[in-house]
Structure 1
């Protein structure tokens, strides 16, 4: 029974959640609400996909929320403060997010500090960088600058379009499929799994472990930055610590994904299923007028169950 629940528990839970909330309210199982759920999970899914890659290599990047905050702040500020176009803004944002990934990788690899502990430290550093850069203020069009003048830059219409349906959903699905193919069917993906499974054996096999771990952290930061940019496209502003709330949801989605169809390892499709599960829960609970501060109880319980199943499976 436990083996069956490990393999199919997440999918069964999704079906049960849909059934329960559909019976509880007529508004839940509608086309518009389903689209709204997919739109709401797009950012957390993209961020969680980056975490999935670092987990595949045996790492654990806790700085993804802070990196998303940096991505959100830079891309909006490039439009509003510096009057740059879409291409320049995106390129500069990606550059700085990759720089974040490089810092994480160098600290973890060169100093041989446990990934989770090191990225826990850098999480606070990068969040502080984002807040310092924005001066703790929300960056938006026509905002009042420090000298009393108004920001003259304009957020491009095309950028705002990317944050709307269907494009934000399309971008999310394309990223999920690309990473799934990359991890499952390419040599690089198999090497990442080998490193995550047994780093010493991978080194003895001649795999350039440090290089692939570097790649994993760069990709983790890249997707976190893309998630931050998509958040900016959705809300057309850069809020203070905007990416931080996505950390817990991303971690939950990635670990729930371990057990989808018995994968037993980080995988993009499983992460997507985990994000869908969390999105369904949040949406349904909101419709049932459950207090927002009770949401963390539910998400934490789901994550605890996912971890229990994952580590029970590994111990057998």
Structure 2
């Protein structure tokens, strides 16, 4: 029979193991996956493939950064994929349909995203609709706007216009470079660094975390809660737009609902990032690590010839595990 002291010691040891897995489980999982895929495929650890992984997660990470900011104030933005779709459509159409410069094309896409973020923030902050329900509704609204704007067609250079003429506009070489290595990776890392510094080392970022922890306490302490909530949804839309702009530069066309497939991966990356280094909250570095985990997993599965339609099962299981780890941790404290 164990006495009370021995039972207490055993519990402490078990929690120490859990704490280690909570803090470093994601990084450990990435390392295990890299070793496994390196053993099963001699092409996995090649320089070209590693660069391909970083390139593949760049857009997901940038869009996920927007979700990270919305989560920092205790909200949640499900409309980022649709905002990215609008941004892709606008930035490509500015070149192909109207022959505008790179600056005007990017500015138009970001302006459209700010309007979308303004609609979200107004309905959530002023009308007081729950954020998840509101952004779920606007996800469909913005998706419909993107389809209406493009008339359900793919926008590309030399496309045939409704009047039968060929579009004469060309995508600028400068814009085309944004979606290529190394710029696409550099932009991702710069976005992560800026948001990490903003959330971690500025008073505005700390205010957002305080609001996310206890909104009423933040309001009583004098923090302008509504102002920061509006800012969070505007920033979320802006980063979704940046992700869409980079996507447009990478594929050089505007596909139908181009940003929609990135929503699930972005949400997964953000929530996986909660447990990185035991932060217990949305953070930019954790989001990047979560995106790396998804990227490594997806790349390795492709090399193992796993059917594409089965990949969502694996990614969904990874997200479920990350959520279980995060929420079990929060309820055990």
Offset of 1:75 from its aligned partner?
Answer: 0.2
Q: Which of 110, 113, 123 is equivalent to 1:94?
A: 110
In structure 1, the residue corresponding to 2:259 is in which secondary structure? coil
Q: Which of 35, 38, 42 is equivalent to 1:26?
A: 42
Instruction: Provide runs of 4+ in structure 1 moved above 4 Å.
Output: none
Task: Tell me, in whole angstroms, the C-alpha distance in 1 between the residues paired with 2:107 and 2:256.
Answer: 22
Offset of 1:8 from its aligned partner?
Answer: 0.5
Q: For each residue in 1:142-163, what CA deviation from the matched residue of structure 2 results, as whole angstroms up to 9, or x when unmatched?
A: 0010011110000001111110
Offset of 1:111 from its aligned partner?
Answer: 1.6
Q: Could you tell me which runs of 5 or more consecutive residues in structure 2 were left unpaired when the two chains were aligned.
A: 1-16
Task: Tell me, in whole angstroms, the C-alpha distance in 1 between the residues paired with 2:57 and 2:166.
Answer: 33
Q: Which of 68, 76, 99 is equivalent to 1:52?
A: 68
Q: Which of 272, 284, 292 is equivalent to 1:276?
A: 292
Task: Tell me, in whole angstroms, the C-alpha distance in 1 between the residues paired with 2:239 and 2:210.
Answer: 22
Q: How does 1:200-211 map to 2 (within 5 A)?
A: 200-211=216-227
RMSD over equivalenced CA pairs, Å: 0.5
With normalisation by structure 1, the TM-score equals 0.99
Offset of 1:296 from its aligned partner?
Answer: 0.2
Task: Tell me, in whole angstroms, the C-alpha distance in 1 between the residues paired with 2:111 and 2:141.
Answer: 18
Q: Which of 87, 91, 111 is equivalent to 1:75?
A: 91
Task: Tell me, in whole angstroms, the C-alpha distance in 2 between the residues paired with 1:310 and 1:30.
Answer: 33
2:143 aligns with 127
Are residues 1:198 and 2:231 paired? no
In structure 2, the residue corresponding to 1:147 is in which secondary structure? coil
Q: For each residue in 1:31-86, what CA deviation from the matched residue of structure 2 results, as whole angstroms up to 9, or x when unmatched?
A: 11000000010000000001100000111000000000001000000000011000
Q: How does 1:171-190 map to 2 (within 5 A)?
A: 171-190=187-206
Task: Tell me, in whole angstroms, the C-alpha distance in 2 between the residues paired with 1:41 and 1:202.
Answer: 35
Offset of 1:4 from its aligned partner?
Answer: 1.3
Q: Which of 231, 250, 254 is equivalent to 1:215?
A: 231
Are residues 1:311 and 2:327 paired? yes
More off after superposition, 150-159 vs 107-116: 107-116
Are residues 1:247 and 2:268 paired? no
Task: Tell me, in whole angstroms, the C-alpha distance in 2 between the residues paired with 1:273 and 1:89.
Answer: 31
Task: Tell me, in whole angstroms, the C-alpha distance in 2 between the residues paired with 1:175 and 1:182.
Answer: 11
Task: Tell me, in whole angstroms, the C-alpha distance in 2 between the residues paired with 1:149 and 1:39.
Answer: 36
Offset of 1:112 from its aligned partner?
Answer: 1.2
1:267 aligns with 283
Q: Which of 2, 5, 8 is equivalent to 2:24?
A: 8
Task: Tell me, in whole angstroms, the C-alpha distance in 2 between the residues paired with 1:150 and 1:40.
Answer: 32
Task: Tell me, in whole angstroms, the C-alpha distance in 1 between the residues paired with 2:327 and 2:128.
Answer: 24
Are residues 1:105 and 2:111 paired? no
Q: For each residue in 1:81-127, what CA deviation from the matched residue of structure 2 results, as whole angstroms up to 9, or x when unmatched?
A: 01100011111111110110000000011121111111000000000
Task: Tell me, in whole angstroms, the C-alpha distance in 1 between the residues paired with 2:19 and 2:151.
Answer: 51
In structure 1, the residue corresponding to 2:298 is in which secondary structure? helix
Q: Could you tell me which runs of 5 or more consecutive residues in structure 1 were left unpaired when the two chains were aligned.
A: none
